[in-house]
C-alpha cells in the first residue's frame, strides 16, 4: 500500500548517500513511501578514494558505477566496530538493548561479505589484564573487517537492493537549501535552483557536508553545541609488533590518561598490514590509514589521538583543529609531516637519509620529513610521547626509536544540532544524522542513526508504535 497525503505519495528526501543515508533508506523502503536519496557525488567522494591515491587501484570501475554512493564510508576500509559506545555514543539516544538491536541490524546488512574476527575471542580477558597492568584500558569489541578493496562491492550490493525496492538515487546533485514553512520542512533546493518537495527530509551529509550543515542549522535557528575533537598522529610500526594483538582484535582499542596532563589518549583505526594515506580536511592535508584484504604491506599503522574539549570563551573545536592542520601544512610545504620517534624524542627533525636508515619503510612517501613538535601544540606532543611509552608496556616495540610518526591526524567532530527523539530537529519533519551532524564517528554508528531517523518517520506515520 502506498501512503498518500491528498493526491501525492508521501516523499522522504535523504541528503547524503553515506551509510547514514543508505541505512535510513533501507529502513524506510517497503513502507509505501517515495524515497529519494540525493548525493553531490563522484568528485567529492573520489577525493577520499585512497586506493586510487596509493596507486593500488585495480581499476575495477566500481567506484565509477556507484558514483558517490557509500559516501566517505564507501571509500573507507570497512572496519565494523560493533559496540554501542564506539564511533559515537548510541546510549545517549537509546537503551542498551535497543542499541544492540540496531548494531545487529547494521551488521546483518554489511555482513555477507565480511570476515568474522572476534565474535568468540577468548583472549580478550588476557588483554584486559595485560593492559590494566600497564595502567591502560583495553576495550574488547566485536569487530568485522571488509577491506577497502572489497567495500565498493558491498556498497554496490546495498544500492542495487535499494533500487529493487523502488528507492531512487539522484546523484551529482548538491543540495544548497532546506525549505521550511511554518516550522515544518517542505523540501530542498539544489545548486541549480531546482526545488524538490518533501514531507520529510533527512540530512546525512557526513564530514564533507559539515560546514554546509552548520550553515543550514544557523539559517534555521537550530540550537547547536560544539563537540570535542581528536588531534594527534598516525603511528607506523613493523606488522610483527602488532601481530599477536590483531589476532585478538583486528582494531584493538586502548585508552590511557597521560601523567603530565591527565589527558585522554587513545588508539583508533588500527590498520594491520595496512597503508598510511593522505586525507583532506577542508583545504588542508592530513593523514589516515586503511588496509585491504588481498594487498598487504609489511607494516601496521594506527591513529594515536588526544581528546580536546574546549570551553568558553573558545569553543569552536573545528576552527582550532583547522588552525593546527594549517600550521602543519605550512611546515610540511603542503604535505603531511613524517618523523622517526627517536628524532622527535631528541628534538631534531627527520630527513630522508635518517628515515631511510630506519628499518620501518614508510608506506606513504608523499610526505615531508620534518619536526612534528614545530606543528602540534606542546601539550599534544607530550601526550603522544608519554602515551606511546605507556602503550609500549602492552605492545612491546611500539615506542622504539625507529617507529614512524605522521602528522597531522585530526578527527573533526561537527557541531551537533539539538535533536529530539529519533534525531528530529526543532523543525518538524527534519532529521539530522551521521557524522555531518556530530551524531556518529563511524560506519556502524552512522548506519544506526539512519535507522533511528527512519523509525521516527514511521512512528509519525503510524507505521511503528
**Interface with ligand FAD by CB under 6 A: which residues?**
15-21, 38-40, 44-45, 48, 50, 68, 71-73, 76-79, 81, 87, 174-175, 204-209, 212, 269, 279, 288, 290, 434-436, 440-444, 446
Whichever of 362 and 434 has its CB closer to ligand FAD, that residue is 434
Residue with smaller CB distance to ligand FAD, 253 or 441:
441
Min dist CB 275 to ligand FAD, Å, is 10
* CB closer to ligand FAD out of 48 and 266: 48
Looking at beta carbons only, is 22 or 308 nearer to ligand FAD?
Answer: 22
Of 213, 207, 220, 206, nearest in space to 176 by CA? 213
Q: Any residues with CB less than 8 A from the CB of 305 and at least 6 apart, and which?
A: 230, 231, 232, 265, 266, 268, 409, 411
Question: How many whole angstroms separate alpha carbon 411 and alpha carbon 210?
Answer: 13
Answer yes or no: are the C-beta atoms of 50 and 234 closer than 8 Å. Answer: no
Cβ proximity to ligand FAD, 358 vs 442, nearer residue = 442
Task: Output 40 or 457, the one with its CB closest to ligand FAD.
Answer: 40
Residue 200: closest CA among 184, 212, 218, 213: 184
Minimum CB–partner distance for residue 439 and ligand FAD (Å): 8
Cβ atoms of 423 and 449 within 8 Å: the answer is: yes
- Minimum Å gap between C-beta 68 and ligand FAD is 5
Nearer to ligand FAD, 70 or 387 (CB): 70
- Rg for the chain, CA atoms, rounded: 22
Q: Tell me how far apart the alpha carbons of residues 415 and 439 are, in angstroms, rounded to a whole number.
A: 9
SS3 content of the chain, % helix, strand, coil (to 5): 35, 25, 40
CB of 411 to ligand FAD, least distance (A): 9
Return the C-alpha torsion angle 120, 122, 128, 134, nearest 10. -130
Least separation in angstroms between CB 148 and ligand FAD:
8
H or E segment to which residue 86 belongs: none
Based on CB atoms, which residue is closest to ligand FAD, 203 or 399? 203
Tracing cell 541549480 back to the chain, one arrives at: 192
Q: How far is the CB of 296 from ligand FAD (least distance, A)?
A: 16
Cell numbers for 271:
590498520
Measured from the Cβ of residue 174, the count of other Cβ atoms closer than 10 Å reads 15
CB of residue 134 to ligand FAD, shortest distance in Å: 26
CA 234 from chain centre, in angstroms, equals: 15
CB of 322 to ligand FAD, least distance (A): 16
138 or 281: CB nearest ligand FAD: 281
Q: How far is the CB of 71 from ligand FAD (least distance, A)?
A: 2
Angle of CA points 369, 373, 377, to nearest 5°: 140
| Three-class DSSP category at 203 | strand
By the 8 A CB rule, do 288 and 48 touch? no
Q: How far, in Å, CA of 399 to CA of 313, rounded?
A: 36
Amino acid at each position: 500500500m502506498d501512503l498518500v497525503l491528498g493526491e501525492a505519495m508521501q516523499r522522504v528526501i535523504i541528503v547524503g548517500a553515506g551509510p547514514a543515508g543508505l541505512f535510513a533508506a533501507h529502513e524506510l523502503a517497503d513502507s509505501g513511501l517515495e524515497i529519494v536519496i540525493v548525493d553531490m557525488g563522484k568528485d567529492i567522494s573520489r577525493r577520499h578514494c585512497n586506493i586510487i591515491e596509493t596507486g593500488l587501484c585495480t581499476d575495477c570501475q566500481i567506484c565509477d558505477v556507484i558514483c558517490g554512493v557509500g559516501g566517505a564510508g564507501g571509500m573507507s576500509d570497512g572496519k565494523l566496530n560493533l559496540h554501542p559506545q564506539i564511533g559515537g555514543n548510541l546510549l545517549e539516544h537509546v537503551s542498551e538493548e535497543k542499541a544492540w538491536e540496531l548494531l545487529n541490524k547494521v551488521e546483518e546488512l554489511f555482513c555477507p561479505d565480511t570476515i568474522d574476527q572476534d565474535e568468540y575471542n577468548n583472549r580478550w580477558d588476557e588483554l584486559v589484564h595485560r593492559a590494566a597492568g600497564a595502567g591502560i584500558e583495553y576495550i574488547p569489541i566485536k569487530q568485522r573487517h571488509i577491506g577497502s578493496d572489497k567495500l565498493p562491492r558491498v556498497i554496490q550490493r546495498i544500492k542495487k537492493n535499494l533500487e529493487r525496492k523502488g528507492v531512487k538515487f539522484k546523484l551529482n546533485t548538491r543540495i544548497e537549501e532546506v525549505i521550511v514553512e511554518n516550522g515544518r520542512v517542505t523540501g530542498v533546493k539544489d545548486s541549480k535552483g531546482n526545488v524538490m518537495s518533501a514531507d520529510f527530509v533527512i540530512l546525512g551529509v557526513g564530514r564533507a557536508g559539515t560546514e554546509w550543515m552548520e550553515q543550514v542549522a544557523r539559517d534555521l535557528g537550530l540550537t547547536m553545541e560544539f563537540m570535542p575533537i581528536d588531534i594527534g598522529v598516525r603511528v607506523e610500526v613493523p606488522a610483527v609488533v602488532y601481530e599477536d594483538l590483531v589476532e585478538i582484535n583486528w582494531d584493538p582499542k586502548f585508552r590511557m590518561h597521560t601523567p603530565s596532563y591527565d589527558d585522554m589518549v587513545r588508539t583508533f583505526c588500527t590498520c594491520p598490514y595496512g597503508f598510511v594515506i593522505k586525507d583532506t580536511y577542508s583545504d588542508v592535508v592530513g593523514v589516515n590509514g586503511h588496509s585491504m584484504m588481498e594487498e598487504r604491506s609489511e607494516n601496521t599503522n594506527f591513529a594515536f589521538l588526544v581528546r580536546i574539549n574546549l570551553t568558553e570563551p573558545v569553543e569552536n573545536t573545528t576552527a582550532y583543529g583547522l588552525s593546527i592542520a594549517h600550521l602543519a601544512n605550512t611546515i610540511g610545504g603542503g604535505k603531511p609531516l613524517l618523523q622517526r620517534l627517536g628524532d622527535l624524542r631528541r628534538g631534531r627533525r627527520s630527513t630522508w637519509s635518517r628515515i631511510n636508515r630506519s628499518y620501518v619503510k614508510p608506506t606513504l612517501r608523499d610526505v615531508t620529513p620534518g619536526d612534528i613538535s614545530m606543528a602540534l601544540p606542546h601539550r599534544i606532543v607530550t601526550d603522544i610521547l608519554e602515551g606511546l611509552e605507556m602503550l609500549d608496556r602492552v605492545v612491546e616495540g611500539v615506542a622504539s626509536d625507529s617507529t614512524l610518526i605522521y602528522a597531522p591526524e585530526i578527527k573533526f567532530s561537527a557541531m551537533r544540532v539539538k535533536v529530539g527523539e529519533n534525531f528530529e530537529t526543532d523543525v518538524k519533519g527534519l532529521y539530522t544524522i551521521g557524522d555531518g551532524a556530530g551524531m556518529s564517528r563511524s560506519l556502524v554508528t552512522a548506519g544506526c542513526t539512519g535507522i533511528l531517523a527512519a523509525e521516527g518517520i514511521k512512528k509519525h506515520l503510524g507505521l511503528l508504535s
